[in-house]
Amino acid sequence: MPSASQRVALVTGSSRGLGQSIAQRLGRDGYAVAVNGLHDAEAVRVVQAIRDAGGTADAFVGDVTDEAAVDELVSAISARLGAVDVLVLNATGPQPDIPLADTGWSDHLAQLRFFVGSPVLTGRAVLAGMRARGWGRIVHIDSEVSDRVPQQRSAYVAAKSAQIGLMRAWALELAPHGITVNAVGPGFIPVERHAGLAPEVLAEYVASVPAGRIGSPEDIAHAVSFFASEGAAFVTGQRLVIDGGRGVP
């Protein structure tokens, strides 16, 4: 059985935020990591961090919501690193607060494009190779919003809920091929876009978490590392919510 050091992991949207931490963790685990983003400079920065830590990585710029770009991305990864064995579906876009009365179908399509469209395009692009090798790991990054629904985010909640259904359907169909499909559902994890949040907002969130702290990107990366590992070979169709106990009834 090949080790992690002989496998390739593609993390979509990994040039910053949660994806960056996931890519760096998989690099430490020994995978050759394909760092993906829309901007070359950001992706190269993450690649250098992985290499500085002794890992293997390369940067691949591409829009994973565009079918032609996805095909080019996967071809480039195969040529430079090898066929993709682990796919982490992390790419995301803006998630604006929009009152229900103002939420149109175009707003739903914008969210579905990232959280259903991108996983379908990227998953299909790597699927033939995983089936041929009889081994694969697909990990979705969804969100706690499917369980703790926020106000004015109906399009985002609907798309994330659809992503969970997609994960389970793929898991059932791909299990006989040695391919597992699972999901990690983060609670609130501060990243760059949250830098301007008021201290009282953060304090209110912490007060709602039994663990008494806000989660870190590394908390999410640990879970992805498990789902990508040999140790998770008999785990598929599962969703691990990482929220410090906030979702416990």
CATH topology of domain 4-242: Rossmann fold (3.40.50)
What pLDDT score does 204 carry?
A: 85
Query: At residue 194, does pLDDT exceed 80?
Result: no
Residues with Cβ within 8 Å of 238's Cβ and at least 6 positions away in sequence, in order, are 171, 182, 183
What is the set of active-site residues? 156
Helix (H) / strand (E) element for 183: namely strand 179-186
Q: What is the pLDDT of residue 201?
A: 80
Beta-bridge partners for 57: 33
pTM score of the predicted model: 0.94
- The sign of the CA dihedral 54, 233, 239, 156 is positive
Cα gap 128→118, rounded to integer Å: 17
Coil vs helix vs strand at 36: strand
All structural domains of the chain with their residue ranges? 4-242
pLDDT in the model for residue 195: 57
Asked if residues 92 and 143 have their Cβ atoms less than 8 Å apart, the reply is no
- Least confident window among 76-85, 112-121, 183-192: 183-192
Q: What is the pLDDT of residues 53-103, one digit of tens each?
A: 999 999 999 999 999 999 999 999 999 999 999 999 999 999 999 999 999
Q: Which whole number is the average pLDDT over 34-57?
A: 97
Q: What is the mean pLDDT of the chain?
A: 94
Between CA 49 and CA 44 the distance in angstroms is 9
Tokens of 21: 């931490």
